[in-house]
Structure 1
Amino acid sequence: MTKTIILTALAIISVVLSYFYEVAPAKSATSENAPAAYTITPYAINSGEDMVRALEFYEPIEEEETPEAKEYFSKKLNMRFANPEAKDLVETVAQWVGTPYRYGRSSKKGTDCSGFVTSIYREVYGVNLRRSSHSMFQEVQRIKKDSIQTGDLVFFRRSPKQPVFHVGIYLKNGKFIHSATSGGVMVSSLKEPFYRNYYYAAGRVN
């Protein structure tokens, strides 16, 4: 009886061991052969194939090109300009720097203030201005001092009862170019005592 019980118990143990030996490895093999359930997320890509699939749906964002500032530097004027529309004006007036003052003249051999301005406007803009600074002032659009732009005209007079006696072409940062009786064509500043005291108005040629 005891022998039969022992044999029965051994048979049961054998069956159980056989089950774990055959079935458990089979499940393991099935999981190894089965395709992996990879997940593609923005933070991780599980395989090279997944990366290819992800890139197929990736659309690169094109960056907008920032236009480069079209600045240029005038050596003769020792000034830098960013407005391309003023380039012709700046290059032209720079060629006149150092021209001696000659009353009633308007050439690079000699010129007075109004002769210089009329020559520049004719050459750069194709505009014929009136010859004297006083008459020139009568045909421009008056503008405020804080609204002056490159190419506008600046006028000077000695007192409210006297007419305009001098004119120049505004450049930038309070600087203007003109033909002075002492020095000829040169760049000056509206902040200089003489021009600050006699400054009258600014005008724009339409």
Structure 2
Amino acid sequence: MKNSILYCLAAASLALSFFFEYAPESSTTFSGASVVATASLLPDFSGDNGDENRPLATASDSAAYSHYSQALGLKLTYNEDQNLLRTVTDWIGTPYRYGSNSKSGTDCSGFVTRVFKEVYGITLQRSSRSMFEKVKRVGKDEMQSGDLVFFRRGPGQPIYHVGIYLQDGKFAHSATNGGVMISSLNQPYYHRNFYAAGRVDLN
């Protein structure tokens, strides 16, 4: 009887040691919530954007992309710019404040300038109109993540709003009626007032 108990204890100890040896040891924190970096059920992804040196997605990458996908409402392919996604996510919910560009409040151009400074180390012009004068125009069907989208209220009217294009027709911006948020170019208001897209020279 004693031997049977000892055998059972030994078997349980062996099983527990196997479990803890392969249990994930690290976690990544997003906005105060801890997300354990477990092995993803999805396969590793390598970038298909021509960058052959881009590393494969890791378990922590998978957790991060899942978080950004949920926070931004995007369907990600796991090869997007994590720095851009993380920075935009950190700004979501910041209230609108005309003439400001801080986490306590920001207007549309203030938000764009801060994101570009944080992500790319580039200082943009402060107004949406000045930004438009410095970018390279791109077609609406050629937009890429990180391009700027500009809006005006009809032909001949000045540009009054700017945002950062993400993907799938969605862009990040600071709106007067909600602060920093994600919107779609397919929404009637933005579809009607969309003027042009532009690409910033990151070199």
TM-score between the two structures when normalised by the length of structure 2 = 0.66
1:147 aligns with 2:142: yes
1:91 aligns with 2:78: no
Query: How far apart, CA to CA, are the structure 2 residues paired with 1:199 and 1:205?
Result: 18
Following superposition, which runs of at least 4 residues in structure 1 exceed 4 angstroms of deviation?
A: none
Match of 2:159 among 155, 164, 170: 164
Match of 1:194 among 156, 164, 189: 189
Amino acid at match of 2:114: S
Which of these two proteins has the greater Rg computed from alpha carbons?
1
**Paired position in structure 2 for 1:114:** 109
Query: How far apart, CA to CA, are the structure 2 residues paired with 1:148 and 1:115?
Result: 22
1:132 aligns with 2:127: yes
Q: Which runs of 5+ in 2 are unaligned?
A: 1-42, 46-56
Contact 1:93 1:120 in 2 (8 A): yes
- 1:1-206 aligned at under 5 Å gives the runs 68-69=44-45, 70=57, 72-73=65-66, 74=68, 75-82=70-77, 84-206=79-201
Q: Which of 157-166 and 114-123 deviates more? A: 157-166
Query: How far apart, CA to CA, are the structure 2 residues paired with 1:128 and 1:151?
Result: 14
Q: Secondary structure at the match of 1:128?
A: coil
Contact 1:86 1:151 in 2 (8 A): no
Q: Which runs of 5+ in 1 are unaligned?
A: 1-66
Amino acid at match of 2:44: E
TM-score between the two structures when normalised by the length of structure 1 = 0.65
Tell me by how many angstroms 1:79 deviates.
2.0
Q: How many residues align?
A: 140
Provide the aligned C-alpha RMSD in A: 1.4
Query: How far apart, CA to CA, are the structure 2 residues paired with 1:162 and 1:139?
Result: 19
